[in-house]
Chain A
Amino acid sequence: MNQDVSLREIGNEYELEMMPDHPYDPLLRVERIPHVWCPGCGIGTALSSFIMALNRLETPREKISVISGIGCTGRVAGYVNLDSFHTTHGRAIPFATGLKLARPDLKVIVFSGDGDLIAIGGNHFIHAARRNINLTIICVNNFIYGMTGGQLAPTTPISATSTTTPHGNEEPPFNLAHLAAASGAVYVARWTTLHFQRLEKAMFEALNHSGFSFVEVISPCPTVFGRRNKMGDGINMLKLFQERCEIRHGADTADVDIGLTGKIVVGKFVDKEKPDSTGARKGNGKGAGGEAA
């Protein structure tokens, strides 16, 4: 195994230490680690599952692009050692759409959070699903806006407390799996970060599925969601996931709403074939209208 020499800062002193490479290091920008995520957060786990799925993928790594929006999950693009784009809030999907249509040879993945993809980016999300362009969307759903300190998200369950719903949320949340399926997604799966191997498998399947594929990752946010809703720390939140989860492959997505308590239905809900519209667009330069003027 390769040895990497690095300098570790201890106060004002530097210590030379030998660090062995991790087998997945080539897929990470190791110089940017440690990451920004809080202790107990699930985004790192989601990223690990993603890296494992990428590692199994046959696509050459130079042909993979990762695009994120803004928020805690939006930082994922900055840690993968691939062509990666950290774009604006909600706009990762249209950016990815442009990249994919310009370069159909690339595997284009959007990795972002629920607020980013479904609130400010909601319109882009449903239209991308409708178009069925060959994109994989990985959405970490932690039921809250984490980066800004715990405000109401479009996924926050009814009666949950956030800084902008201090008396409890009165609005029903989106059921992301149902929204994706109804909008035309050809692959829809949901797992929690507790199910990291199943999650890896779902990501791998989504990456290999032609068309608009969607993986929802239910993640603990102990710092600003769990704490305010008396769910304890990250471990406790995972225990809650374990108690509340029910694996139900092929479930009707209309039945997989997530409340503050009660069941969290996980599994592969949609896996179907539908012609994707990526390749159809690009002309061969020989069609009607002749050559450039």
Chain B
Amino acid sequence: MKGAVKEKSGIEPPASPVKARKGEEHFWNGDIACAEGAIVAGCRFFAGYPITPATEVAERAAERFKSVGGVFIQMEDEMASMNAILGASWGGVKSMTSTSGPGFSLMMENLGLGIMLETPCVVVNVQRGGPSTGLPTLVGQADVMQARWGSHGDYEIIALSPSSPQEFFDLTIRAFNLSEKYRIPVIILADEVVGHMTERVVVPPVEEIEIIDREKPSVPPDLYRPYRFDGGKIAPMAVAGEGYRFHVTGLTHDERGYPAMNWEAQDKLVRHLVAKIRNHVDDIIDLEESYIRGADIVVVSYGISARLAMDAVEDARREELRVGMIKMKTIWPFPEARIRNLAQKIKAFVVPEINLGQIVREVERCAAGKAEAIPVSHAGGYVLDSKAILDAIRKGARIKK
């Protein structure tokens, strides 16, 4: 479960996440697959609040966690849910919550606390149409920038995006692994369609699944420091009740975790929070590439839109258009280097997403005028029409470079 092939190039057809996989077969919707993936990852604490279309994640957790020695609690709101999972994580228990748009907004405050305290945990957002209450039962992908920038202040974040129940299962495990490794809340940006569609999900034998647990301190308590601001390295994490008697705060702090109200401390801390992700993008970014070699158009998409996009790519290839595909399983950090590199060689990127232009702006920024970035947009409530994506590919093919 190390994620799929990274930055692979060539003329390979798309990988099927379930094809030729050995293991126990299930017929699960994405939300259930997520809760089951969390259990496999070792998550034993779930705090949540009902919200469509993410409720099934919580319901599955409520049904299952007790039987695996875990705890489920329904909190009074999403602010409480987010805090409860931080508290549980500092108790040494892998923890998660799940929500959708309005709840995700409420979680932003304490997502920031999780980032500041460097707390491993997983936050699932099964996206629906917004803004505000929007379309509770219908799909959207418009929380991409909120996932990146939604909490105040400067920071880096990790966000993963599944395009099938199988990937929802796989990426939930990966989200826990990344959160434990980098001591950071990891967001899973799913969407209503992936959350509610039911498909075959193969659970591999436990011994084949890589599980990463946070590094524990090896020094005596009087030498322990909860943080380390040094080139993006991650400090081992003590948890409550082990005698380390640590202090952590949402205030700007030093490596001891003590408040430090000055610009020098701020500079060290914030640069560390950013560096610990930016210095490890090669480990974190997981792209699934198809037909990239020789392509002069590359479709960049994620979540349910990536599946529709793949249909359009296959159709375009039947028209002998030279088009490749990048399915982003990691949305944040953004694969800047890959887009920058491809922009030198191709004519255009086509970016289908169920919003009015979020990832396309990132693509445009990284392409820096070397290749066009053509959006395929939808305000939400329905999946994209693969014909609209095909039209955008054709438009890209007509560009002279």
Interface residues of A (CB under 8 A from B): 29, 32, 61-63, 65, 67, 70, 77-78, 81-88, 90-91, 93-103, 105-106, 123-124, 127, 281-293
Which A residues touch B81, using CB under 8 A?
94
Query: B87 is contacted by which of A78, A95, A281 (Cβ under 8 Å)?
Result: A95
Pick the interface stretch among B89-97, B352-360, B367-375.
Answer: B89-97
Given contact pairs A85-B248, A287-B66, A98 touches B240 in the complex (Cβ within 8 A): no
CA distance A91 to B244 in the complex (A): 23
B residues 21-49 touching A (CB-CB < 8 Å):
24, 26, 36, 39-40, 44-45, 47
Task: Give the number of residue pairs across the A-B interface with Cβ within 8 Å.
Answer: 176
The answer to whether A281 and B251 touch across the interface, beta carbons within 8 angstroms, is no
Given contact pairs A78-B247, A78-B259, A87-B113, A98 touches B84 in the complex (Cβ within 8 A): yes
- Interface size on B (CB < 8 Å)? 59
CA distance A293 to B79 in the complex (A): 30
CA distance A96 to B47 in the complex (A): 13
Given contact pairs A81-B245, A91-B110, A285 touches B68 in the complex (Cβ within 8 A): yes
Which A residues touch B87, using CB under 8 A?
67, 85, 94-100, 102
Query: B85 is contacted by which of A70, A98, A283 (Cβ under 8 Å)?
Result: A98
Q: Does B336 contact A (CB under 8 A)?
A: no
Query: A86 is contacted by which of B110, B242, B247 (Cβ under 8 Å)?
Result: B247
Which A residues touch B17, using CB under 8 A?
none
Given contact pairs A123-B76, A283-B65, A102 touches B91 in the complex (Cβ within 8 A): yes
The answer to whether B258 and A32 touch across the interface, beta carbons within 8 angstroms, is yes
The answer to whether B64 and A289 touch across the interface, beta carbons within 8 angstroms, is yes
Q: Does B71 contact A (CB under 8 A)?
A: yes
Closest Cβ–Cβ distance, residue A245 to chain B (whole Å):
34
Given contact pairs A99-B90, A106-B241, A293-B36, A283 touches B249 in the complex (Cβ within 8 A): no
Nearest chain B residue, comparing its CB with the CB of A97: B84
Which A residues touch B112, using CB under 8 A?
88
Q: Does B208 contact A (CB under 8 A)?
A: no
CA distance A238 to B137 in the complex (A): 58
Which A residues touch B66, using CB under 8 A?
281-283, 287, 289
B residues 52-79 touching A (CB-CB < 8 Å):
63-73, 75-77, 79
The answer to whether A95 and B68 touch across the interface, beta carbons within 8 angstroms, is no
Which A residues touch B26, using CB under 8 A?
293
Given contact pairs A78-B258, A289-B63, A293-B26, A88 touches B246 in the complex (Cβ within 8 A): no
Q: Does B203 contact A (CB under 8 A)?
A: yes
CA distance A103 to B241 in the complex (A): 8
Closest Cβ–Cβ distance, residue A85 to chain B (whole Å):
6
CA distance A62 to B246 in the complex (A): 10
CA distance A87 to B251 in the complex (A): 9
Q: Does B179 contact A (CB under 8 A)?
A: no
Which A residues touch B110, using CB under 8 A?
87-88, 91
Given contact pairs A284-B69, A289-B63, A293-B39, A83 touches B76 in the complex (Cβ within 8 A): no
Nearest chain B residue, comparing its CB with the CB of A131: B73
CA distance A127 to B47 in the complex (A): 14
CA distance A58 to B247 in the complex (A): 22
Q: Does B323 contact A (CB under 8 A)?
A: no
CA distance A62 to B243 in the complex (A): 4
Which A residues touch B246, using CB under 8 A?
83-84
Given contact pairs A63-B241, A286-B67, A98 touches B72 in the complex (Cβ within 8 A): no
Instruction: List, sorted by A's number, 22 A–B pairs whose CB atoms are closer than 8 Å.
Output: A32-B258, A65-B241, A70-B250, A84-B247, A84-B248, A87-B86, A88-B110, A91-B110, A94-B83, A95-B83, A97-B75, A97-B83, A98-B95, A99-B88, A102-B89, A102-B95, A282-B66, A283-B65, A287-B67, A292-B68, A293-B26, A293-B36
The answer to whether B70 and A283 touch across the interface, beta carbons within 8 angstroms, is yes
Which A residues touch B64, using CB under 8 A?
289
Which B residues touch A70, using CB under 8 A?
250
Q: Does B109 contact A (CB under 8 A)?
A: yes
The answer to whether A77 and B247 touch across the interface, beta carbons within 8 angstroms, is yes
Closest Cβ–Cβ distance, residue A103 to chain B (whole Å):
4
CA distance A84 to B238 in the complex (A): 12
The 10 closest A-B pairs by CB, nearest first: A98-B87, A283-B66, A98-B84, A289-B67, A102-B91, A285-B69, A86-B249, A99-B87, A94-B80, A102-B88
